[in-house]
Each structure stands twice: as C-alpha cells, then as structure tokens.
Amino acid sequence: MAFDAELAERVRGVLEQFPLEAGESWGEIKMFGGLCFTLNGKMTVGLGKLRLMIRLSDVDSEEAMASDLVEPMDFTGKPLENFAYVKEEGFASDEQLLEWIRKSATYVRTLPDKPKKPRKK
C-alpha cells in the first residue's frame, strides 16, 4: 500500500505548526506499506493510500468509532487496539487534520518510553 505524497506534505505542514513540548521532536518512518509520523520515536499518525492512521486513548477511540468516518485498523484479521483509520472526508480540512494529530499526540505522550535494545556486537 503506497501513501499519497500530497497528503504527506500536508501532514508535514500541519506538524510544523503543532506545539511541541520541551525536548519533543517529530520523525518519519516508512512502515505498514505507508508513512508513519512519530513523536519522540513513538508512532503517532500515519498515511496509507487515502486514509489517515491515528493512535487514540481508549476514551477517544470509543468516541471516534461512533463516527462513520473512522474504522478499526485491521489488516491481520484482528483490529489493533488504540489504532484506527480515518476516511478521507474525516480530515478534509487542516483543522480536522490538526485535531486528529492533537488527539493522537496527547495519547502518545502518556505512553512509556520503550526500553533500549542492546546493540549487537
């Protein structure tokens, strides 16, 4: 699954204006056949075809799933917990896109850091 290059540029533009806390930074990783944006190394939002992948808290996820614009992230036969896809019309405006990024970043900021893997010699 390829990602939309124009949508990637649009997300980058919104991220440039997103308020970061001290020491925070955005990154990019190609994964799931698309492009993921990370906040301090933690997957936050991503792109695949014309959908936005989001990562949400239990409360925000339950609320989002009530909308017909959001569907579970399921590419293995079992939906991934706290991950969802937003259909294109759900992030048509930059304001909508920013709101999804804000919700995802708020949740990701609560997650513990991953332990560092030992380096192979």
Q: Is residue 37 part of a domain?
A: yes
Supply the CATH number for residue 40's domain: 3.90.1150.30
- pLDDT digit string, tens, across residues 89-119: 999 999 999 999 999 999 999 999 877 777 7
Q: Is residue 28 part of a domain?
A: yes
Quote the domain boundaries for residue 104.
5-108
Q: Is residue 118 part of a domain?
A: no
Count structural domains, the chain: 1
Per-position DSSP letters for the chain, written without gaps between them: --B-HHHHHHHHHHHHTSPPPTT--EEEEEETTEEEEEETTEEEEEEEBTEEEEE--HHHHHHHHTSTTEEE--SSSSPPTTEEEE-GGGG-SHHHHHHHHHHHHHHHTTSPPPPPPPPP-
Place of tokens 């699954």: 1
Q: Is residue 117 part of a domain?
A: no
pLDDT at site 90: 96
pTM value? 0.89
Q: How far is the CA of 98 from the CAs of 73, 102, 117, 118, 119, in angstroms? A: 20, 6, 33, 36, 37
Q: Is residue 11 part of a domain?
A: yes
Q: Is residue 33 part of a domain?
A: yes
Q: Is residue 69 part of a domain?
A: yes
